[in-house]
Amino acid sequence: MVTTIRVLYADTDMAGVVYHANYLRYFEQARTELLYAQGVDLARLHEEAGLVFAISSCALNYHRSAGYGDRLAIEVLPVKVGPARVTLRYEVRCNGGDEVYVTGETTFAALDATTGRVVRLPPAMRDAMARAAAEAGHDWPG
Amino acid sequence: MVTTIRVLYADTDMAGVVYHANYLRYFEQARTELLYAQGVDLARLHEEAGLVFAISSCALNYHRSAGYGDRLAIEVLPVKVGPARVTLRYEVRCNGGDEVYVTGETTFAALDATTGRVVRLPPAMRDAMARAAAEAGHDWPG
Amino acid sequence: MVTTIRVLYADTDMAGVVYHANYLRYFEQARTELLYAQGVDLARLHEEAGLVFAISSCALNYHRSAGYGDRLAIEVLPVKVGPARVTLRYEVRCNGGDEVYVTGETTFAALDATTGRVVRLPPAMRDAMARAAAEAGHDWPG
Amino acid sequence: MVTTIRVLYADTDMAGVVYHANYLRYFEQARTELLYAQGVDLARLHEEAGLVFAISSCALNYHRSAGYGDRLAIEVLPVKVGPARVTLRYEVRCNGGDEVYVTGETTFAALDATTGRVVRLPPAMRDAMARAAAEAGHDWPG
C-alpha cells in the first residue's frame, strides 16, 4: 500500500531537506493507513482491549534527499508477523519517480496499556497483516 | 528564571531558522525547569494526584530569527495565577545579546487525568508560581 | 477550504491528546494546501524568486482536546492581506462534528532568502489570498 | 561522553512513553555536544566551509520505555570514522540507573551545501572523532 505525503517546512531542516527523524513520522502515517485499510483501528484497540503499540526496533537508510514541497510516496509492506511482533518494510519514492529515496524497517509489539508488558497480538491484527502481505504478493513462513 | 538551549538541526527548517512551532517546545522546557526549581514535579502530580496539565491558549511574536547552533536564553515569568489557570510570559534572547528574538505567553490549566475536566490548581503549584513571580520582582493582584 | 488530518501517535502526548504545538504543523499543512489550490507553489517561489516565508506571529485557543485516531478538519481562511503580510484564521473540528476544538491565527511574511529581510508579497500570492477569501464569502478592506 | 536530557510532554505519546522517533533528536543533541566538546562547531563549518551534515543511516533498539520527567543519560561514542562518514553509537540510561533503555547507531556524511554531494570529512572532524574515541578507551582501525 502506498501513502502520499507532501513535505512541509516543519519537516525540513537547515540543509534544505527532510530531517532524518521525520521519516519515522511518515512511516507511522503509512502504517496507520495500512491498518485502517485492513480494518484495524488502533484507537479502538486502545479503548476496548487496553492495548497500546510500541516500536521495539527500527532501521533506516537514506539514499537521496527529499526537500520542501516534494510529494513522497511511502510504500509499506508487512515482512514478518510473529506471536507478539510485526515487522514492516518501507520504501520512499518522490514526485512520481522510480528511484528509492529512503528504505526502512520498523518492528512493533502490542503492550498492555496498564502494565506496559508485551502481549500476544490480537488475531485481527495478525490476519490483517497476513492479508496485506498477500495482497502485495508477499508470503512469510508461519 | 532563564533556561539555555542550543538550537539543533532538528529545530530548524529550510529557511535556515528555527521553525516557529519549536519555540513552544522551548517554552515547555523553560516552564518545566521553573517548576522544578520551585519544587513542583509534574510527573509526581500525575502519579499521585492524577493531574495532567494542558495549554488552553498561547500567543507568540517572532521579531528576529535564530539559527542553527545559536544559544537561546528563554526567560520565563508567571504573570497571572487564577484558581485553575496560570499564565506565563516568555522572552527569548540569543547568544548573550540583549535583543529580544521572540516573546510569548502560554496559559495552562490543571485537568483531572481521568475525566479530562479542569480542576483547581494544587496549592503547591499556586504557591510556587507566586514565589517565582516575587523572585522576579513581579506582583499580581490576587 | 478544509484539510483533513488523522491524529497520529507522533502528535499526542502522555495526557492522551494532541500536544498543543502540533496544531501549528496542522495549520501549516492546511495553509499549504490552500496555497496549492490557488496555484501558489512555495517551493517554486523559493527556487525562482528566492523567497522564503516566515511566521511573524501566531495565537491559538484550545477549547477541546482531540486524541489519537481522531479525524480533524482544519478550515483555513485569509482574514487580512497587507503589502508584506498575510493573516490566516483557522478552525479545527473533529470527526465530522460542529464543535470547534481549536481556533488560531497566523501571520506570515515573505522574506528574501539571502538577506532575511521582509519584502513585498508577490502579486500572485496577494491575488490568491483575495480569491480564497472571496470564495469563502469573506471580504477585507484594501 | 554523556548528555543529560529531561523528558518533556512534547516528547511523549499517548502510551505515556517517549515516542520512538524522538530518540533521534536526543541523539543529535548528544552528538552536537560531543562535537562542541572536541572543538568542532557545525554552524561554523556551514558558514565557513559550506558544509552540511546528513544522516545516511540509523538503527535503534528499544529495550525499555522512558516516560515524562525521566532524566535520560545519552552516552555517545564514535565507533567508525571513514574518509567521508562517521558512525556513532549511543546508549540511553535513565534516572541514574545502569539498565540500558535504548541503543542506537547513526552514520553521518559531510555534504557540500550547494551541490548536495558527499565530500571528504574535514580533518578537524576526523581528529575530533579519533580523540573522542581514544578518551572513551575505544580504538578503530584506520
pLDDT digits (tens, 9 = 90+) for B2-14: 999 999 999 999 9
User: Could you please report the per-residue DSSP string of D69-121?
Assistant: T-EEEEEEEEEEE-SSEEEEEEEEEETT-S---EEEEEEEEEEETTT--EEPP
Task: Please indicate whether, in this complex, the C-beta atoms of D67 and B25 are within 8 angstroms of each other.
Answer: no
Angstrom distances, CA of residue C48 to CA of B47, C44, C45: 54, 6, 5
Residue A142 lies in a domain: no
User: What was the ipTM of the complex prediction?
Assistant: 0.94
For the record, the C-alpha cell of A97 comes out as 519517480
For A57, how many CA atoms within 13 A lie in the half-sphere containing its CB?
11
Report the pLDDT value the prediction gives residue D140, as an integer from 0 to 100.
Answer: 60
Average pLDDT, chain D: 93
Report the pLDDT value the prediction gives residue A140, as an integer from 0 to 100.
Answer: 59
Angstrom distances, CA of residue B2 to CA of A111, B136, C67, C88: 39, 11, 32, 32
Residue D142 reports pLDDT greater than 50: no
Inform me whether the C-beta atom of residue A47 falls under 8 Å from chain B C-beta atoms: no
User: Rounded to a whole number, what is the distance in Å from the CA of B141 to chain D's nearest CA?
Assistant: 30
Under 8 Å between Cβ of C92 and C66: yes
Under 8 Å between Cβ of C58 and B109: no
Inform me whether the C-beta atom of residue C59 falls under 8 Å from chain B C-beta atoms: yes
Q: How confident is the model at residue D107 (pLDDT cuts 50, 70, 90)?
A: very high
Residue A14 lies in a domain: yes
Interface test with B, best of A13, A20, A47 (most B CBs within 10 A): A13
Residue B60, SS3 per DSSP: strand
D15 chain-A contacts, CB cut-off 8 A: 52-54, 111, 113
Give the Cα separation of B35 and D79 in Å (integer): 39
Cα R_g (chain A), whole angstroms = 16
Under 8 Å between Cβ of A119 and A42: no
Number of structural domains chain C divides into: 1
Inform me whether the C-beta atom of residue D41 falls under 8 Å from chain B C-beta atoms: yes
C16 chain-D contacts, CB cut-off 8 A: 14
Average pLDDT over residues B66-89: 95
Angstrom distances, CA of residue B30 to CA of A115, B17, B76, B130: 31, 20, 7, 17
Interface test with C, best of A4, A6, A9 (most C CBs within 10 A): A9
Residue C15 lies in a domain: yes
Residue of D nearest to A14 (CA): D52
Give the Cα separation of B97 and B90 in Å (integer): 16
Q: What is the pTM of this model?
A: 0.95
Phi-psi group of B39: left, alpha or beta (phi > 0 → left; psi -120 to 50 → alpha; rest → beta): left
User: Rounded to a whole number, what is the distance in Å from the CA of C131 to chain A's nearest CA?
Assistant: 22
Nearest-CB residue to D10 (from C19, C67, C68): C19
For the record, the C-alpha cell of D71 comes out as 532524566
B17 chain-A contacts, CB cut-off 8 A: 14
Give the Cα separation of A105 and A123 in Å (integer): 22
Q: How confident is the model at residue D139 (pLDDT cuts 50, 70, 90)?
A: low
* Residue A130's CATH number: 3.10.129.10
First to last CA, chain B: 22
Report the pLDDT value the prediction gives residue D116, as an integer from 0 to 100.
Answer: 86
Give the Cα separation of C22 and C15 in Å (integer): 14
Report the pLDDT value the prediction gives residue B137, as an integer from 0 to 100.
Answer: 77
Angstrom distances, CA of residue B132 to CA of A131, B2, B35, C21: 58, 12, 9, 25
User: Rounded to a whole number, what is the distance in Å from the CA of D61 to chain A's nearest CA?
Assistant: 4
Report the pLDDT value the prediction gives residue C109, as an integer from 0 to 100.
Answer: 95
Residue of C nearest to A29 (CA): C8
Nearest-CB residue to B28 (from D9, D25, D42): D9
AA letter at B112 = D
Task: Let me know the angle formed at the C-alpha of A127 by A125 and A130, rounded to the nearest 5 degrees.
Answer: 110
Percent of the residues in chain C that have a pLDDT greater than 90, as a whole number: 82
Report the pLDDT value the prediction gives residue C116, as an integer from 0 to 100.
Answer: 86
Could you give phi then psi for residue A110, rounded to 5 degrees? -90, 135
Residue B40 neighbours by CB distance under 10 Å: 19
The pLDDT profile of chain C, 142 residues, written as one tens digit per residue, is 999 999 999 999 998 899 999 999 999 999 999 999 999 999 899 889 999 899 999 999 999 999 999 999 999 999 999 999 999 999 999 999 999 999 999 999 999 988 889 999 999 999 999 999 888 877 655 4
Please state the separation of Cα A113 from the chain's center in Å.
Answer: 20
Give the Cα separation of B97 and B93 in Å (integer): 6
Please report all neighbours of D, defined by 3+ CB atom pairs within 8 A.
A, B, C
Residue A39 lies in a domain: yes
AA letter at D130 = A
Residue D23 reports pLDDT greater than 50: yes
Nearest-CB residue to A46 (from C6, C44, C68): C68
Residue of A nearest to B20 (CA): A10
Residue D130 lies in a domain: yes
For the record, the C-alpha cell of C16 comes out as 492522551
Report the pLDDT value the prediction gives residue A99, as an integer from 0 to 100.
Answer: 98
Interface test with A, best of B8, B13, B24 (most A CBs within 10 A): B13
Residue B142 reports pLDDT greater than 60: no
Q: Which residue has the higher pLDDT, B24 or B115?
A: B24
Task: Please indicate whether, in this complex, the C-beta atoms of A9 and B10 are within 8 angstroms of each other.
Answer: no
Give the Cα separation of C9 and C18 in Å (integer): 9
Residue B68 lies in a domain: yes
Angstrom distances, CA of residue B62 to CA of B3, C19, C57: 18, 21, 6
Give the Cα separation of D24 and D106 in Å (integer): 9
Residue B41 lies in a domain: yes
Inform me whether the C-beta atom of residue D2 falls under 8 Å from chain B C-beta atoms: no
Residue of C nearest to A24 (CA): C10
Report the pLDDT value the prediction gives residue A142, as an integer from 0 to 100.
Answer: 46
Look up the domain containing C58 and give its range: 2-135
Residue B9: DSSP 8-state: G
Residues of A taking part in catalysis: 13
Under 8 Å between Cβ of A18 and A7: yes
Residue C142 lies in a domain: no
Helix (H) or strand (E) holding B28: helix B22-37
Residue C98: DSSP 8-state: S
Give the Cα separation of C56 and D28 in Å (integer): 28
Inform me whether the C-beta atom of residue A87 falls under 8 Å from chain D C-beta atoms: no
Q: How confident is the model at residue B140 (pLDDT cuts 50, 70, 90)?
A: low
Residue C94, SS3 per DSSP: strand
Mean pLDDT by 10 residues, chain A (142 residues): 96 94 98 94 90 95 95 96 95 98 97 91 92 80 48
Task: Please indicate whether, in this complex, the C-beta atoms of B43 and D68 are within 8 angstroms of each other.
Answer: yes
